[in-house]
Amino acid sequence: MTRFALTLEFDGTPFVGLQRQATGPSVQQAVEEAAERVTGEAVTLHSAGRTDTGVHALAMRSHLDIAKPIAAFRLMEALNAHLRAAPIAVTHCEAVADDWHARFSCTGRSYLYRIANRRAPPVLDANRVWHVARPLDAEAMHRAAQALVGLHDFTTFRSVQCQAASPVKTLDRLDVERAKTLWGEEVHIHADARSFLHHQVRSMVGCLALVGMGRWPVEQVGQALAAGDRAALGLNAPPHGLYFVAATYP
């Protein structure tokens, strides 16, 4: 039995999320079915993080165990051939130690949130950015974001469906910057932590956007955090602007 670590890139638009669910197609289901067609084995895909409906990934780290002798490069090529109809690609594949685990060995996760900040709606990037036509003050958003960095009780920014044992997390980074792209002005929010609560990044982004629009003062983000109450949340950003960027391992 060989454990293979995969790096997945995917467009989350047609999926109910990364994790297999009974309510619709998932990234996990698509990769597992492709692997079974390649090897003839029923396999289980384990991943560094979970993503909601419509959330994308640039480099999701995952793993699966395969008994059939097969080279990592050949496995990657075969999986991509069977995934051709789905917006999923295996960008890297390697054999790893049996005790390496995509989720439990992971010591850090990084997300990017993209806001298209222009009057015209995005066409080429539809379903890949959150369109906010009103001008955003990215500097004010960044100042407000710093109140969330560090060890905190993130109950306000936690989904009511969150199954984490504790709302206490350490947010290592929350930076906001304005970026020029081929499609115009964007505001990018970068979030790093060992782990995140369900909807935490989207909830933080939504409140920061309120600051950027001038609807919230900078101080209100910290006040919402201190409230420890989901009712203090101002806005939950939509999923399609969110990207899982990287997983960190020792």
Question: SS3 for 21?
Answer: strand
DSSP 107-152: -EEEEEEEEE-SSSPPSTTTTTSEE--S---HHHHHHHHGGGSEEE
What the block records as the tokens of 72 is 């990592």
Tokens of 126: 């539809």
Distance CA 77, CA 214 (A): 49
- Assess whether 229 carries a catalytic annotation: no
User: SS3 of 163, please?
Assistant: coil
Q: Which own/partner pairs from 34-41 qualify as long-range (CB within 8 Å, at least 24 positions apart)? A: 34/78, 34/79, 34/82, 34/83, 35/64, 35/66, 35/79, 37/82, 38/70, 38/75, 38/78, 38/79, 38/82, 39/66, 39/67, 39/68, 39/70, 40/68, 41/66, 41/67, 41/68
User: Active-site residue among 11, 52, 125, 192?
Assistant: 52
Structure tokens at 69: 């002798």
- Axis crossing angle, helix 27-39 with helix 72-82, rounded to the nearest 10: 120
Q: Which residues pair with 197 in a beta bridge?
A: none
Active-site residue list: 52
